[in-house]
Amino acid sequence: MAANRSTSGTAISQNAEIFCPETSVSEDESLVPPSGSQSDSEFVLADIIARTIVPELLVRNKDLFSTSSDAFGHPTQADIERLSSLILGPENSDALEYINALREKGLTLDHLYLELLEPTARHLGELWIVDKIDFFAVTIGVGRMQRIVHHFADLDKLAPYDEKRRALMLVPPGEDHTFGSQLVQRFLRAADWSVVALDGRETNKAADLVVHEWMTVVGISISSDVDIESMRHLIQSIRSKSLNPHIGIIIGGPMIARSPELVSELGADGEAQNAPAAVLLAETMLARGLEAMRLTRI
């Protein structure tokens, strides 16, 4: 037994030296007291380990003892830029592997969609605006992120998928500036969405249209001041009459960029700061809507 204790003590001492090289013991706390029994020596050794080595190990390796959500938290700007680089790279599998690594650290699906994929799409749109990538590259990138959403949302098991990828694009009543809406339409169509567009003179027809035609999302581009109460009423009317009980409302445009609180004030489901981000947000709403429909049938 004495030999076993000696071996154990040596192992602890060696491990302490590996993990905590700076940890030192003062002369009056030497591991082997000048006098006393074997049990006294072991007691002193255990006391020194408890008071010096263990606290040091806990400080240095605190991530090992935290929960996954505490250890990871939320995606960072570095994660977004790294994923953007991988999305634009030669192999889409690299991006998927990177996301899987983040998922293992505690990244939830909600954070994946709204705090990583959608901001990554927005980042690609910003790169396109400043001519760092071309339209082809950004549409390829958005298409790859769509497939990532499909992968994690398990959409292959939810049918019919393609028939549900339909979007209605609006501008506020009387609004003449439709460039932002047209840009979103272009990216949606490039991502294989079917798009119906109404101009400012036809916006009030939207609620009647969704009664008869399935729409997954409604996108509203707002470039100037709007009548908040009228827009809120329009959105409520679209929701109440929609053939799709889980229809998503996306708003964007210069007005929303200046006043993001309008997202909640108008009763929308989300904000898209540019066209690629709108596509990913629409894809996310499609995934959530189909999942909600599946659950209601169970």
pLDDT tens for residues 141-161?
A: 999 998 888 888 776 555 555
Laid out side by side, the sheet with 270-272 consists of 194-197, 166-170, 217-221, 248-252, 270-272
Q: Are residues 188 and 284 in the same domain?
A: yes
81 within 8 A of 123, measured Cβ to Cβ: yes
* pLDDT at position 156: 57
Q: Are residues 112 and 131 in the same domain?
A: yes
Q: Are residues 149 and 209 in the same domain?
A: no
Q: Are residues 199 and 291 in the same domain?
A: yes
What are all long-range contacts of 11-16, with beta carbons under 8 Å and residues at least 24 apart? 12/45, 12/49, 12/53, 16/49, 16/53
* pLDDT at position 219: 96
End position of a domain, from candidates 49, 65, 81? 65
Q: How far is CA 216 from CA 155, 178, 289, in A?
A: 14, 21, 8
164 within 8 A of 214, measured Cβ to Cβ: yes
Q: Are residues 176 and 281 in the same domain?
A: yes
Q: Are residues 88 and 57 in the same domain?
A: no
The enclosing domain of 113 has a CATH number of: 1.10.1240
Q: Are residues 139 and 193 in the same domain?
A: no
End position of a domain, from candidates 19, 48, 65? 65
Q: Residue 263 burial by CB count (10 A; 0-12/13-18/19+): exposed, middle or buried?
A: middle
Looking up tokens 């959608």 gives 118
The enclosing domain of 244 has a CATH number of: 3.40.50.280
* pLDDT at position 26: 41
- What pTM did the predictor assign? 0.70
Q: Fill in the amino acid letter for 218.
A: V
Q: How many domains does the chain have?
A: 3
Domain extent, residue 117, equals: 73-153
Q: Are residues 280 and 250 in the same domain?
A: yes
Q: Are residues 77 and 139 in the same domain?
A: yes
End position of a domain, from candidates 125, 153, 181? 153
* pLDDT at position 51: 60
**Which of the residues in the chain have pLDDT under 50?**
1-34, 58-59, 61-71
